[in-house]
Chain A
Amino acid sequence: MNGALVWLLVGLGLAVVVVRRRSVAVGLVTVQALVLAGAAAHAASGTDALAAAALAVRAVALGTLLLFVVSRTREPRPIRAGIATLARGGLAVALALALTWLVPAFGLDSRNVERGVLALVGFGAATVALRRATLFHVLGIVLAENGLALAALRLPNGSSFAIELGVAFDLTLVALVATVFHERIFAEFGAGDSAALRTLRD
């Protein structure tokens, strides 16, 4: 996997942290997963081809599901994150850099890929922490899992298909449950805004 492809995946991930519209963010994580599937399909081995198929099916299924949810829960206007766009981007990049500095090389076939994985996990965590719209929380998890899918593709021992398949199955389950909650939260509070979900404290 060349450096440009890793940078493309990281760039798509950072864009999820900063864009305003939910539908655009859904498109970004879907394209990201499809790029990963394309990279896996480009590799020669049989298990990578199966991993590519699992990734592609997961990308299309999740993208369709999340766009359907967006269409069913139209917000009158985009929910503003509590933190400005530039600050969000800056914090996400800082978290990604901190992770790449803290975590030593762990054995993937390229340090660049390892940095890309850590950056995507960092961006996923930043999306959950910094965005208020509930759908962005789900997208943060998908983003982090895309990073882990990238790591699984570069495992030296050829276990990528099983991991991709397992992650795809679990991620789809979690996303389905999250959409049930999102729709009910939207119906109850009139918006998919996590700011309304801060009443339980001690």
Chain B
Amino acid sequence: MISREVLALAAVGAPAVTAVALVVVPRRLVDVVAKAGALLSALAAGALAAVALAAPDSPLVERWLVVDAAAGLFIAVIGAVGLASVLASASYLSSIDDSLVRPEHRSRAYYGLLFAFWAILAGLPVVGNLAGAWLLVEATTAASALLVGFSGKPRALEAGWKYLILTSLGLGIALLGIVALAARSTAGGLDALSWRELSAVQPGHATLVAYLLLLAGLASKIGWAPVHNWLPDAHSEAPAPVSALLSAALLPTVLLIAWRSSQALAPVLGESATHGVLVAFGLGSLAVAVPFLWLPLPWKRLLAYSSLEHMGVIALGIGFGTPLALAGVAVHIAGHAVAKAAGFYAATPLLSLDPHAGTRASRGVLRTQPGLGSVLGGSLAALSGLPPSPLFVSEVMIVAGGFAAGRPWTAAASAALLALGFLGLAHALIETTAGSAAPGDVKRPAGLRVVLALGVVAGVLLLALTAAALFLPGSAIAHALARGAG
């Protein structure tokens, strides 16, 4: 049997090797190497996830490596969204006429950056040390900022610049928190910042301030309100497959670092303090996102504000901290990834059909393009939490977990905000699919076949997740998530 160390190395190494291979292979082989590399990388991620989730009671926790249930969940999400994003990229690349790089290097540069981003992202769930995690989070910024601005259009440059500067500055604040934690540790060297040693810091106000600085800095990358300004711009201006990776994989994976830090520091600071900060970020993000879900926004901007809402829901679930709420968090992360990625992939044919869909709300797509309209509608229905979406089940579990955690007012406020968010997205769902449309364009938009195939797969996965969600509470995986990597 292959050891978990080797599988973790393969999950990170396969996309990294592909990124390097894409630099050296002849131009005619770039697409083939990208697809083969994506398949291998997803297989490696799937194998690691299967091993981690099959034995949640015996995690591997070392100084620099951790393979536990949470790592398994996140690696599975990154592998699945990475593979789908590569498959959806060919139609994006064929639909653009300009970019940051010259046309002859366009595919090579795009896929190279995408795989570099994937490799760094795959390292985050398995890194066993807070300082190592910070380095990887900062490195994701460098790779993904170039992808956000890849089209080279003024709006994309603006979005990429905001993303680069705001998140880099935020991560500087997070590093200040990490240095403060290292200074207060009784253990020596960088080992003091491993997940299992982090609880050896001295208690006190300074440790609480360090934790606040760390979370405030990470919040700028997760996109939690009030430091979310870059998120709608980057998600709406990035190439659609990159938007999917940003929203479905990057945001929750950075959130995992905040989650692991919270679990590691809870014995020192007390659960009420560590959980309270997460609940505050969660409730704040929900409250900021909901009004925007009621606005007639362009498709990708609407999905971006939905990401803000869902990162808030996940923060609430972690903040409530009960096994039921954490089971809800696991379902929510997976369900959000599948539904959001499908929605973003559908943006490529939508924009090829109607270039103005980047600046105004889309209407009546189901009337003119039934296939595309179905994917858009399915994605939005799942994201809004319309039953039988797994997000409906996960939100019920998280709110119920809030009541079980003895936070009835917060749980009630969350339920009210979720209901308002549902109404906003339901309105957008009706307008996008069945609203009054301009005279229909009957041409077949670019990349529709791939998007339809991915849409069908997403639909099956979402229904499977809903079924799985019913068995997750009380399972060994839910208890392992509550235990953490410490």
Residues of A participating in the B interface, judged by any CB pair closer than 8 Å: 102-108, 117, 121, 124-125, 128, 134, 137-138, 140-141, 144-145, 147-148, 151-152, 155-159, 162-163, 166-167, 169-170, 173-174, 176-178, 180-181, 184-185, 188-189, 194, 196-200, 202
Contacts and interface: CB of A to CB of B under 8 A. Distances in A.
Contact of B169 (A108, A124, A158): A124
A185 B100 contact: no
Contacts of B292: 202
B182 A200 contact: no
A166 B134 CA distance: 9
Contacts of B158: 197-200
B280 interface: no
Interface string B374-404: 0000000000000000000000000000000
27 contacts: A104-B206, A105-B206, A106-B210, A121-B176, A124-B169, A124-B172, A141-B165, A144-B172, A148-B172, A151-B183, A156-B183, A157-B185, A157-B192, A158-B188, A159-B131, A159-B188, A162-B189, A166-B134, A170-B139, A170-B142, A174-B142, A177-B141, A180-B146, A184-B100, A185-B161, A188-B154, A200-B162
Contacts of A145: 172, 175
B168 interface: yes
A174 B143 CA distance: 9
B187 interface: yes
Given A162-B131, A184-B157, A177 B145 contact: yes
Interface of B: 100, 131, 134-135, 138-139, 141-142, 145-146, 149, 152, 154-155, 157-162, 164-165, 168-169, 172-173, 175-176, 179-180, 182-185, 187-190, 192, 202, 204-206, 209-210, 213, 232-233, 236-237, 292, 295, 297, 301
B179 A155 contact: yes
A10 to B, nearest CB: 16
What DSSP secondary structure best describes chain B's contact surface? helix
Given A159-B190, A166-B131, A121 B165 contact: no
Given A152-B179, A188-B157, A202 B301 contact: yes
A134 B146 CA distance: 16
Nearest to A162: B190
Given A157-B182, A166-B134, 9 more contacts: A107-B206, A124-B169, A137-B165, A151-B179, A159-B189, A177-B145, A194-B161, A197-B162, A200-B236
A185 B149 CA distance: 11
Given A158-B188, A181-B160, A199 B154 contact: yes
B149 A181 contact: yes
A169 B168 CA distance: 13
By secondary structure, the A interface counts as helix
Contact of A151 (B155, B176, B187): B176
A184 B306 CA distance: 31
Given A155-B182, A158-B188, A163-B179, A104 B157 contact: no
Nearest to A158: B189
Contacts of B236: 200
A180 to B, nearest CB: 7
Given A121-B172, A155-B179, A166-B131, A200 B155 contact: yes
A169 to B, nearest CB: 8
B386 to A, nearest CB: 24
Contacts of A177: 141-142, 145-146, 164
A159 B192 contact: yes
Nearest to B232: A202
B170 to A, nearest CB: 10
Given A181-B164, A194-B161, A200 B237 contact: yes
A144 B209 CA distance: 18
Given A103-B209, A174-B168, A157 B161 contact: no
